[in-house]
Amino acid sequence: MTLPPKSPSRPHKVSLWRYLKLFRADILSAQPARLYRAWMAEFRTPFFRSYLCNQPDLVDLVLKARPDDFPKSARVREGLTPLLGNSVFVTNGAVWKRQRRIIDPAFEGGRLRHVFPAMLEAGEGAVQRLGDLADGQPRDIEAEASHLAADVIFRTLFSIPIENEVAARVFGAFRAHQRTQPVVNLAALIPLPAWMPRPHTRAARRTAGVIRSLILQLTEARMAEVAAGTAPGDLATKIMTTADPETGERFDTGEMVDQVAIFFLAGHETSASALGWALYMLALYPEWQSKVAAEAQAAFGTGRPEFSQMSQLVQTRDVFRETLRLYPPVPMMVREARCPETFRERAIAPGSQIVLSPWHLHRHERIWTAPDAFDPARYATDEGRKCLRDAYIPFSAGQRACPGAGFAMIEGVLLLAMLVRRYRFEPVPGRPAMPVAHLTVRGKDGIWLRITPRD
Ligand code: HEM
């Protein structure tokens, strides 16, 4: 059985300069192979110290047991501020807690039913668009996945499709923004020495400004609709009308712009990455593609999918889960130790960077059986379920876990089922995809597939 693609590891020992160079090219292949076996690894340099933790109880300690003692690193903030301002993704402490109290109710399990029709419409749009591309010619599926995930976010947040003029301009500006600083955001995620230049290039500042002014237009218009009592019942309205249960305050327009920017960025880049890799996995493993197609056919027939049918897509969900294990869209997260700690009998100084790596934890050789194999059936076993509990964090965990996790799991499974119900996806000979970490885990030169109608 051929294994799905995995980034190569770097040689065991390299100089700091070489490491930084490799790191700038791709954070994943800059790491040594031993991280797939280690419970903890210390990186000592003259400038900083960081600890990558793979031991499940350490990961639990940082994310779940004492998260307030391991806040987000200030370095994360640096690269992201021009775009995200004071958004929930970069704040800490009381400010962050207040923001989550207002945001979380919009994503509660029961509300997913309300966003389902908007996801469905985005899926139908994609099924139609792929019709023009389903001629067996090589196609970069990442571009399609990005377009689709952006459509989902605009429809669920603001009840507008990606074809809407402002939505299309935001989407275009995000792409331009990523081109101006493809790895800068990730550079901020890793403890590079403070003096190392992390240019917020002028171009990046300009594109961030364009995005924020477009989002401001959407947010102001919605504030007016809320005031007039004419606002649609989507995510934006829910968030803008939710008062903090502790203080009674709501987000003002400026704060809402910050939050919308992160919803768009976190919600569309990640889902697009996951969908692109899931389709690639189905192309590489056609037996799983047949199962997904059969499951979609059995659940939906030729009709419109309904929310209540989603629970029937058990194997499709396992395919999506397995994709998130092998290609976690957010490959690494960084926290900072506030107090002195002892991890695995080693003293950790305050200010040390604690790196949690879904990428390594999900492929850990001492935790997972056949860690590099694509095997969605593993989740039907007791062992697979135990690993899910102990060593599976594509959405992080604990109080700071992704608020969009439930949303993303419905979205990913629905879109996969809808696309595979209509089309067959095959790999393009001579064009394998290779994962690299940009803002999320993407194909080095895209993800190329051949699409044909299923019947
Ligand atoms: C497959 C899709 C997704 C994946 C894999 C994913 C993963 C993650 C991860 C790992 C984090 C934690 C990052 C950290 O702590 O450094 C996070 C945070 C976040 N995600 Fe997601 N996400 C996905 C989809 C979404 C969606 C659809 C939304 C919103 C519509 C969303 C909104 C957010 C927000 C607002 C945060 C910041 C939470 C906080 O810091 O308190 N995500 N996501």
Q: Report pLDDT digits (tens) over 9-45.
A: 877 777 777 777 777 677 788 888 999 999 999 987 6
Q: Best of 262, 402, 439, 441 to mutate for ligand 1, by most ligand atoms within 8 A of CB?
A: 402
CA of 236 to the centre of ligand 1 (A): 17
Q: Which amino acid makes up residue 92? A: N
Residue nearest to atom 14 of ligand 1 (CA): 333
Index of the ligand 1 atom closest to the CA of residue 189: 16
Task: Say what the pLDDT of residue 184 is.
Answer: 42
| CA-based R_g, the chain, Å | 21
Residue of 403, 353, 284, 263 lying closest to 45 (CA atoms):
353
Using pLDDT thresholds of 50, 70 and 90, give the confidence band for residue 250. very high
Across 409-431, average pLDDT = 97
Q: Report pLDDT digits (tens) over 216-242.
A: 999 999 999 999 999 999 999 999 999
Residue nearest to atom 10 of ligand 1 (CA): 395
Above 70 in pLDDT, residue 190?
no
> In the numeric block, which tokens belong to residue 344?
């695995």
Comparing 198 with 321, the larger pLDDT belongs to: 321
Residue 443 · residue 434 · CB < 8 Å = yes
Task: Say what the pLDDT of residue 312 is.
Answer: 98
Index of the ligand 1 atom closest to the CA of residue 330: 10
Above 90 in pLDDT, residue 194?
no
Give the N- to C-terminal CA distance of the chain in Å, as an integer. 28
3-state secondary structure of 343: strand
Residue nearest to atom 19 of ligand 1 (CA): 402
**What are 427's strand-pairing partners?**
449
Q: What angle do CA 150, 216, 405 make, to 5 degrees?
A: 40
Q: Report pLDDT digits (tens) over 76-132.
A: 676 677 888 899 998 999 999 999 999 999 999 889 999 999 999 999 999 999 999
Using pLDDT thresholds of 50, 70 and 90, give the confidence band for residue 187. very low
Q: Report pLDDT digits (tens) over 254-310.
A: 999 999 988 988 888 899 999 999 999 999 999 999 999 999 999 999 999 999 999
Helices and strands counted in the chain (H then E)? 16, 11
